[in-house]
Amino acid sequence: MIDDKIIQLAKKLHALAEQGDGGEKENALEMLQRLIQKHGITLESIIGEVKHRRNFVIKTTQHKFFFQVVASVIGEDYSYYQSKSNRRKIVLFLSDAEFIEIQAKFDFYVVAYEKDLKLFYLAFIHRNKLYAKQHENNQQSSKEQAPELTEDDLKIIDMMQGLKAHAFHKRLTH
């Protein structure tokens, strides 16, 4: 196993060989080559994964959710910028593996999230009785039929039980 100090020195020499000027650049490159040969270091172990500019086009209403997925893949220490001409375009610098994982995770979870959000909406509506009032003759006919509950209906009922019912008090009288 290669000592971490040698890898750090190789990284510094590589950076100097990339960014230095004239003789400084040439000396750093020569020293780097000797270090690589002496210790059997690969260039990949020095450079690490190469990060590229990656563009994502995300609905503005999904930005917060998208950044949550990004953080779940690469942690909270990332930088990005947003296109001024297109608010939906988000640019990150990512490795190939990070890009693929973020894209796949977002595509998978955003569908599940939006489905659950629809169920939550219905649970909220029913918990707070915000549905349309029915006339008396419609209520009697609906009581005669007992529809089968679907899996989504059961989820809505579970959600309703966990929600607080909000009480609205009329401030105007007729």
Please tell me whether residues 30 and 64 are part of one structural domain: no
Which residue segment(s) compose the domain that 95 sits in?
52-107
pLDDT at res. 135: 65
Instruction: Residue 32: name the closest of 52, 55, 8, 49 by CA.
Output: 8
Residues 32 and 61 in one domain: no
CB atoms within 10 A of CB 120: 15
Q: Is residue 129 part of a domain?
A: no
pLDDT of residue 145: 67
Same domain for 12 and 59, yes or no, is: no
Same domain (yes/no): 40, 65: no
Domains of the chain: total = 2
Q: Which two tokens stand for residue 57?
A: 């086009």
In a domain, 163, yes or no: no
Domain membership flag for residue 154: no
Could you read off the pLDDT tens digit of each residue along the chain, which spans 174 residues?
A: 567 788 788 888 888 887 778 888 889 889 988 988 888 887 767 776 778 899 999 999 999 999 999 999 999 888 898 888 888 999 999 988 899 999 999 999 999 999 999 999 999 988 888 888 776 665 555 556 667 888 888 888 888 888 888 888 877 766
Q: What is the pLDDT of residue 143?
A: 54
Residue 81 resides in a domain: yes
- 73/54 Cα distance (integer angstroms): 15
**Is 37 a member of any domain?**
yes
61 with 39, same domain: the answer is no
Q: Which of 162, 143, 164, 152 is nearest to 122 (CA)?
A: 152
Residue 130, domain member (yes or no):
no
Residues 29 and 63 in one domain: no
The answer to whether position 126 is within a domain reads no
Q: What is the pLDDT of residue 137?
A: 61
67 with 103, same domain: the answer is yes
What whole-number distance in Å separates Cα of residue 94 and Cα of residue 110?
20
149 located within any domain: no
Residues 75 and 43 reside in one and the same domain: no
Could you tell me if 9 and 37 lie in one domain?
yes
